[in-house]
Amino acid sequence: MKAITRRSFLKNTGAATGAIALGTALQGGWLSCSKAQALGYFESEFGISDSLCQKALAKALSKGGDFGELFFEHTISNWLMLEDGKVNRAYSDVSLGVGIRTVKDDQVGYGFTQELTEESILAAAATAATIANANSNKPAGEFVNLKMNNYYPLKNLLTSVALESKLPLVQTTNDKCFELSPLIIKVSAGFHDQQKRILVVTSDGTKAEDLLPRNYLYASVVAEKDGKRERAGWNLGGRKDFSFYTTAVVDEVAKAAVDRVLVLFDAVQPPAGEMPVVLGPGVTAILLHEAIGHGMEADFNRKEQSTYCTMIGKKVAEPFVTIIDDATNPKLPGSLNVDDEGTPGQKTVLVDNGILTSYMHDKISALHYKLEPTGNGRRQSYQHYIQPRMRNTYMLPGPAKPGDVIKSVKNGIYVQDVSNGQVNIGAGDFAFFVSQGKKIEDGKLTAPIKDINIMGNGPKMLTNITMLADDLEMSRGGGGACGKGGQRVPVGFGQPTCLVKSMTVGGKKA
Q: How far apart, in Å, are the Cα atoms of 341 and each of 10, 103, 128, 137?
A: 27, 12, 15, 19
What CATH number labels 6-163+191-214? 3.30.2290
> pLDDT at position 3, please?
54
CATH 3.30.2290 maps onto the chain at: 6-163+191-214
| DSSP type of residue 270 | P
Residue 438 and residue 413 in contact, taking contact as beta carbons nearer than 8 Å: yes
Terminal alpha carbon distance of the chain: 73
Identify the bridge partners of residue 430 per DSSP, sorted by sequence position. 423, 456
**SS3 assignment, position 118:** helix
Quote the CA–CA distance of 491 and 479 in Å, as a whole number: 10
What is the Cα 410 distance to its own chain's centre?
Answer: 36
CA distance 218 to 481: 15
* Burial (CB count within 10 angstroms: exposed 0-12, middle 13-18, buried 19+), residue 112: buried
Q: How many CA atoms lie within 13 A of 113 on its CB side?
A: 21
Whole-model pTM over 0.85 = yes
Number of Cβ within 10 Å of residue 412's Cβ equals: 24
DSSP code of residue 91 = E
What is the predicted pLDDT for the residue at 153? 94
- C-alpha 223: how far from chain center: 30
Cα angle: 133, vertex 136, 140; to 5 degrees? 135
Please check whether residue 103 is in contact with residue 66, taking contact to mean a CB–CB distance below 8 angstroms: yes
> Using CB atoms within 10 A of its CB, is residue 21 exposed (0-12), middle (13-18) or buried (19+)?
exposed
Q: Would strands 411-424 and 273-279 be described as parallel, antiparallel, or unpaired?
A: parallel
Which one-letter DSSP state was computed for residue 191? E
Query: Are residues 247 and 421 in contact, defined by beta-carbon separation less than 8 angstroms?
Result: no
What is the CB neighbour count within 10 angstroms for residue 93? 14
The values of phi and psi at residue 270, to 5°, are -75, 170
pLDDT at 37: 58
> CB-based burial of residue 429 (10 Å sphere; 0-12 exposed, 13-18 middle, 19+ buried)?
middle
Helices (H), 216-372: 247-262, 286-287, 298-302, 363-369
Nearest in space to 295 (alpha carbons), one of 285, 284, 312, 308: 308
Q: What does each of the 510 residues of the chain score in pLDDT, given as a tens digit?
A: 445 555 454 444 433 333 333 333 333 333 334 455 568 999 999 999 999 999 999 999 999 999 999 999 999 999 999 998 888 889 999 999 999 999 999 899 999 999 999 999 999 999 999 998 888 888 988 999 999 999 999 998 988 899 899 999 999 999 999 999 999 999 999 999 999 999 999 999 999 999 999 999 999 999 999 999 999 999 999 999 999 999 999 999 999 999 999 999 999 999 899 999 999 999 999 999 999 999 999 999 999 999 999 999 999 999 999 999 999 999 999 999 999 999 999 999 999 999 999 999 999 999 999 999 999 999 999 999 999 999 999 999 999 999 999 999 999 999 999 988 888 888 889 999 999 999 999 999 999 998 899 999 999 999 999 999 999 999 999 988 999 999 999 999 999 999 999 999 987 765
Q: Would you call 296 exposed, middle or buried from its count of C-beta atoms within 10 A (0-12, 13-18, 19+)?
A: buried
Distances in whole angstroms, Cα of residue 108 to Cα of each of 167, 362, 370: 45, 13, 19
pLDDT for the residue numbered 32: 39
Written as one letter, the residue type at 85 is: G
Q: What is the DSSP string of 197-211?
A: EEEEEETTSEEEEEE
What is d(CA 398, CA 408) in angstroms, rounded to the nearest whole number? 15
DSSP per-residue string spanning 44-76: HHH---HHHHHHHHHHHTTT--SEEEEEEEEEE
| 30 DSSP assignment | G
Q: What are phi and psi of 257, to 5 degrees?
A: -60, -45
Q: Residue 304 — left, alpha, or beta (φ > 0 → left; ψ -120 to 50 → alpha)?
A: left
